[in-house]
Amino acid sequence: MKLSKENLVNIAVHDLDLPNSSIFDLPEKVIQFGTGSLLRGLPDDFIHRANQAGLFHGRILTIKSTTQGDSSAFDEQDALYTLCIQGYADGKIVNDRQVNGAISRVLSAQHSWPEILETAKNPHLEILLSNTTEAGLVEDQGDIGDNPPASFAAKVTAYLYTRFCHFNGDPTKGLIIIPTELVPDNAQVLKEIILKITERQNLKPEFVSWITSANHFCNSLVDRIVPGSISSSVLPYEDQLAIMAEPYRLWAIETDSETVKKQLSFAAIDPAIKLVANIEQYKEIKLRLLNATHTLSCGIALLSSVEYVKDIFQIPVFDRYIRHILFNEIGPTLQHYAHIEQAAWEEFGRAVIDRFKNPFLAHRWNAIALQYTTKMKMRVFPLLAPWYSFQGKPPVGLAIGVAAYLLVIREAASGRLVFQDDLQPKLGQYIEGLKSTHALLSDKDIWEPSLADYPEFSKLVQELVEFIEANSIEQAIEKYLKINPR
């Protein structure tokens, strides 16, 4: 039996949340560019649950922008799909399933562009969502009159221009535009590209004014691991669109408009949706507590031949190391320089542990090592200056992670470990023997700013490198963090 609107009545599974029949009559209030797992596993999950609770009263028209594949599965299943939520939450296993009915239909930009433009005339439409990957937020020389326009931004410009013309510039018919691409200030980037396209195409000056005054461009940050499709074999029906997501979720949307907050009524369904005037705090928490902890732990895992992220907690000293850097080094540093309340970073830190331990995810450490040096530069080293501003000694946990990174880079240079790191050639002059750690960490061609200002830190890293070579990473953690094995 295939999942479809007609077959819902035939699905009798006690632990499966099915959509209310009333949601199929709701108007399309959202246009979404992208059919990928992240959108279906996060924003569309919130909107579905809000509709189930009678909070939003609107469905999603989804646009398939890419040329790969087709939308036949969505057509055959009436755009229904199963979302399996699997992992840890508050230290307990979660294994929930729902049939998501947020999407009303899927149209292909390649084959149905005129029909898509017609939907711009929908008076019920309020919100535009997107996730086109970071490559989508770029300008090209495509024409908005093309069928379809080449770039995502040109498609949005054409769509908005059609809406502007149809409603004669009505200031109440603008949209709330929320990109979810992992680009800093993603909404403002999109807005600037749209304005450049508008200027290049010599569109009406009134349209420029309407873009800036009638539409709300909201930067956003999304955070949820949605690995992608899962096999229908785990379900009592056929579903070509089934996906899995972790329990943790966050959607931070930047707005100080009460009008926008009112229209984003789905936010009331879950405190994980943050409607705030500035999302920088959430970006910083994610970058440092989640991403930096991943990066610092990566070398430790690879040196110990731990293949999957979830398995690192099977080694007690590594479990305690991760908790140390989260709660004794990174968290207090965030509190000091970013003024993030202790309760907030501690809550996120506990969630990080749950996410790392997720037994349903097969996340390999060698995948996390991709562009290892750049990740170390962007995620870890910016913590040093604020740490030293309120502490008088080097952060030992960070130093252990950096020492492990240097040893892993040497292993990669010898071919014993394989991952891509575009900065590895510049590291080559320092790799042999790793006897010039201070010189390496002070090289301005690699690190910006230079780490020469932290000689005690580089000295400690050098000492750790030599200790690990002579002993092991486990013994280094036990000795230098005074963490004794149980």
Name the token pair of 388.
């030293």
Question: 142 pLDDT band (50/70/90 cuts)?
Answer: confident
The structure tokens listed for 393 are: 């000694």
The confidence band for 25, taking pLDDT boundaries of 50, 70 and 90, is very high
309 touches 363 (CB < 8 A): yes
Nearest to 209 by CA among 219, 195, 196, 197: 195
Region 320-338 average pLDDT: 97
pTM for the full predicted model? 0.93
What is the pLDDT at residue 447? 85
Q: Which tokens sit at 363? A: 């996340």
Return the pLDDT at 350: 97
Question: CB neighbours of 223 closer than 8 A, spacing ≥ 6?
Answer: 248, 249, 250, 251, 282, 286, 290
CA nearest neighbour of 296 among 393, 399, 367, 371: 399
pLDDT in the model for residue 485: 46
Residue-wise pLDDT for 52-61, tens only, equals 999 999 999 9
Give the whole-angstrom CA distance, residue 202 versus residue 225: 42
Domains of the chain with CATH codes: 6-278 (3.40.50.720), 281-480 (1.10.1040.10)
Residue 361 has pLDDT above 70, yes or no: yes
Distance in angstroms (rounded) separating the CA atoms of residues 27 and 30 = 9
CA 21 to centroid of chain Cα atoms: 32
pLDDT band at 229 (very low <50, low <70, confident <90, very high): confident
pLDDT band at residue 434 using 50, 70 and 90 as cut-offs: low
pLDDT at 135 over 80: no
Regarding predicted confidence, which is higher, 451 or 258?
Answer: 258
Residues in the chain: 486
Token code pair at residue 132: 């086109």
- For the segment 166-189, the average pLDDT, to the nearest whole number, is 96
Q: What is the average pLDDT score of the chain?
A: 93
For residue 18, count other CB atoms closer than 10 A to its CB: 16
Residue in 333, 329, 325 with CA at minimum distance from that of residue 298: 325
pLDDT, average across residues 367-371: 95
Query: Would you state the pLDDT for residue 138?
Result: 80
- What would the mean pLDDT of 464-485 be, rounded to a whole number? 89
Q: Are 63 and 109 in contact (CB under 8 A)?
A: yes
**Is residue 51 predicted with pLDDT exceeding 90?**
yes
Q: What is the pLDDT of residue 274?
A: 98
Pull the structure tokens for residue 235: 């379900």
pLDDT at 486: 37
**pLDDT tops 70 at residue 354:** yes
pLDDT at 280 over 70: yes
For the cut 60, the answer to whether the pLDDT of residue 134 exceeds it is: no
Q: What is the pLDDT of residue 426?
A: 84
Share of the chain above pLDDT 90, in %: 82
